[in-house]
């Protein structure tokens, strides 16, 4: 489930051992992977380089990174990236030498990039081409997974809905959730429209535990124009020397962190939020990204995609102050897995942003996400092969007769969209960068009302892709709210005004949310 870097890497690993079906809601290229700009972090210069990458990952995670997972990431990463290059991925070079840049919280330049600021698109292109050439892999594009079917205590099949509204059920020896994150749970996000947390919600409904759901990373620098979506302005801009300035044109990061603009993302995002707060409730001030002083770098050549988008709004990196604000970007939590992608439900595996191994702790190190997909996608596939259980026979006929046919109705569709918008706005207002008990309780009130509306609409209209997404967003929102209420401290991307300090004695542990909604804390 999912055709980003984790899903495709797993599919390639599995394809020589049986039939693989890759299911994706839109065209194969439409994933969070495709939109990743900055690059892929990888230590390819030997043991010292690997050790430093590990140290940076641990430091960025604010005391909560599961060390064994981070060791797997940085040690296996170089092999996976070299493998990717052998399969056709073209990273930027100069005179044959791989170019590397530096991003926030990295101790040295180790970020490989492609076509300037289109690294994810290049990785996606190469993996898709490699996968399509394999006769063992079939793609089901424009198809939504609407349910996981269990038999004898394990996931044994999936319910699918195609773009024509046809339902079918496909049995499987194993199911891998690699459907990415859930940025669309917030009104302001850098994520594409497909990032609605479907895989996470389906796994939880099937009984899988979730972990660290309170830790949603807000990227510090998304384009902040009333007429524009929250387009990502890559961390690599600050890696190339960009400053952050407030509405008085002052650099301000020295007040927040010694690494200034290259501080960890959670620190920079909160700093921008605070600098953008006005003197009165509801008032806001503009914060800017400034590259006008950067010399020796052809900014249009280095960042062609970003430059093209800014051109639409009459802005240029080399000439203008660019208005920015944080936006929901990456979920550190997800379906709880071990280091081989196994969830708490037999037959169900997860990898990539949909999974939580603890590798990112409370705050992901910049550009570790693409590497995570490569490394843990491959590991999940190998674990599936090692287990090798016989598939459980399930009914291959149409899905249950009690599911009403979807009845497209403009009024119902408008009600559904209005409900999703209320949920997104509520999550941004009450469970965003700065949280406290009162706002989180209000967030729960909004979520419960929206979930009830979605259930009513489902009973009237039946299942559709958008209905499935609405159900997923409601489920993910509740998991975030429950976990955020339970963690009464501030750590990494989770900041509470009413508990502003880190509390290692009680909370240097991972939150685990079970299918009945209970949240406990465990040391891994």
Whose tokens are 């508990």? That residue is: 499
Query: What gap in Å lies between CA 53 and CA 74, rounded to an integer?
Result: 7
Query: What gap in Å lies between CA 132 and CA 435, rounded to an integer?
Result: 45
DSSP 484-520: HHH--S-BTTBEETTB-S--HHHHSSEEEE-TTS-EE
Among candidate residues 9, 238, 265, 487, the one labeled active-site is 265
Q: Are 232 and 120 in contact (CB under 8 A)?
A: no
DSSP 400-425: -TTSPPP---HHHHHHHHHHHHHHHH
Query: What gap in Å lies between CA 422 and CA 417, rounded to an integer?
Result: 9
Which runs of E-coded beta strand occur in 346-474? Answer: 348-350, 355-356, 434-435
- Who contacts 381 (Cβ-Cβ below 8 Å, separation ≥6)? 9, 10, 11, 12, 13, 14, 176, 341
CA angle 21, 406, 177 (to 5 degrees): 30
- What tokens appear for 392 in the block? 């459980």
CA angle 353, 359, 365 (to 5 degrees): 80
Residue 265 a catalytic site member: yes
Dmax over Cα atoms in the chain, in whole Å? 67
Catalytic amino acids? Answer: 265
């Amino acid at each position: 489930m999912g055709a980003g870097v984790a899903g495709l890497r797993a599919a390639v690993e599995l394809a020589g051992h049986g039939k693989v079906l890759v299911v994706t809601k839109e065209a194969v290229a439409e994933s969070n992977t495709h939109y990743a700009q900055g690059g892929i972090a990888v230590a390819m210069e030997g043991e010292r380089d690997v050790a430093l990458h590990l140290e940076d990952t641990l430091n960025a995670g604010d005391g909560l990174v599961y060390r064994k997972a981070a060791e797997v990431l940085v040690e296996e990463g170089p092999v996976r990236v070299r493998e990717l290059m052998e399969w056709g991925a073209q990273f930027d070079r100069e005179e044959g030498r791989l170019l590397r840049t530096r991003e926030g919280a990295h101790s040295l330049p180790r970020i490989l990039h492609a076509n300037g600021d289109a690294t994810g698109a290049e990785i996606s292109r190469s993996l898709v081409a490699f996968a399509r050439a394999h006769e063992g892999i079939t793609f089901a594009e424009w198809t939504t997974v609407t349910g996981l079917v269990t038999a004898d205590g394990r996931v044994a099949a999936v319910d699918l809905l195609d773009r024509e509204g046809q339902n079918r059920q496909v049995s499987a020896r194993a199911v891998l959730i690699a459907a990415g994150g859930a940025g669309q749970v917030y009104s302001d996000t850098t994520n594409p429209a497909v990032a609605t947390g479907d895989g996470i919600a389906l796994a939880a409904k099937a009984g899988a535990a979730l972990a660290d759901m309170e830790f949603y990373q807000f990227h510090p620098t998304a384009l902040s124009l009333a007429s524009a979506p929250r387009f990502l302005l890559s961390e690599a801009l600050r890696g190339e020397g960009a400053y952050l300035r407030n509405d008085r044109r002052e650099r301000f990061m020295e007040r927040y962190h010694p690494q200034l603009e290259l501080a960890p993302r959670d620190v920079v995002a909160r700093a921008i939020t605070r600098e953008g707060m006005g003197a009165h409730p509801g008032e806001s001030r503009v914060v800017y990204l400034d590259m006008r002083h950067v010399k020796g770098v052809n900014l249009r050549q280095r960042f062609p995609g970003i430059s093209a988008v800014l051109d639409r709004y009459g802005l240029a990196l080399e000439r203008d102050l660019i208005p920015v604000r944080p936006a929901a970007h990456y979920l550190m939590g997800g379906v709880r897995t071990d280091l081989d992608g196994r969830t708490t439900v037999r037959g169900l595996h997860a990898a990539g942003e949909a999974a939580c191994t603890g590798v990112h702790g409370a705050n992901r190190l910049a550009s570790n996400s693409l590497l995570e997909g490569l490394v843990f996608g491959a590991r999940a596939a190998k674990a599936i092969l090692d287990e090798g259980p016989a598939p459980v026979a399930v009914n291959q006929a149409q899905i249950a007769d009690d599911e009403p046919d979807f009845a497209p109705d403009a009024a119902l569709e408008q009600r559904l969209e209005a409900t999703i918008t209320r949920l997104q706005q509520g999550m941004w207002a009450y469970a965003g960068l700065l949280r406290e008990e009162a706002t989180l309780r209000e967030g729960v009130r909004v979520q419960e009302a929206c979930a009830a509306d979605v259930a009513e609409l489902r009973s009237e209209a039946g299942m559709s892709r958008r209905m499935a997404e609405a159900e997923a967003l409601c489920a993910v929102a509740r998991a975030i709210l429950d976990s955020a209420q339970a963690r009464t401290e501030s750590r990494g991307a989770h900041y509470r005004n009413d508990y502003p300090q880190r509390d290692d004695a009680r909370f240097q542990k991972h939150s685990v949310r079970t299918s009945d909604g209970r949240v406990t804390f465990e040391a891994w």
